[in-house]
Amino acid sequence: MLLNTSKIEEEFVEPFVRGVNKIKSHNIKYLVIEQLSSLDRDNIKTIQDKTNLKVLDGTQILIMYLPLVLKKYSNIFERRF
């Protein structure tokens, strides 16, 4: 099923942005959204641009921990063979 992105932006993104802007304080820099997978990159960019907050999607966490996980598996692999 194809989603109508303009309808999603109109029905979800715009009210969401208005709500976030009403309650956010000056010391908040990041935003975590449940069901982030239901939004496309344009929606996320719109939310970031209109709220001045960075939407965390887990990519940064994966990038930070991936080298550690690969090293651990490498060490396990080397010990087995």
Q: How many residues does the chain have?
A: 81
Return the CA Rg of the chain: 18
What residues pair up with 55 in beta bridges, in sequence order? 31
pLDDT in tens, 57-67: 877 778 888 99
DSSP class of residue 27? T
Query: Which regions of 1-81 does DSSP assign to beta strands (E)?
Result: 30-32, 54-56
Q: What is the pLDDT of residue 46?
A: 94
What are the structural domain ranges in the chain? 5-80
> What is this structure's pTM?
0.65
* Element housing 21 (H / E): helix 14-23
Q: Are 46 and 17 in contact (CB under 8 A)?
A: yes
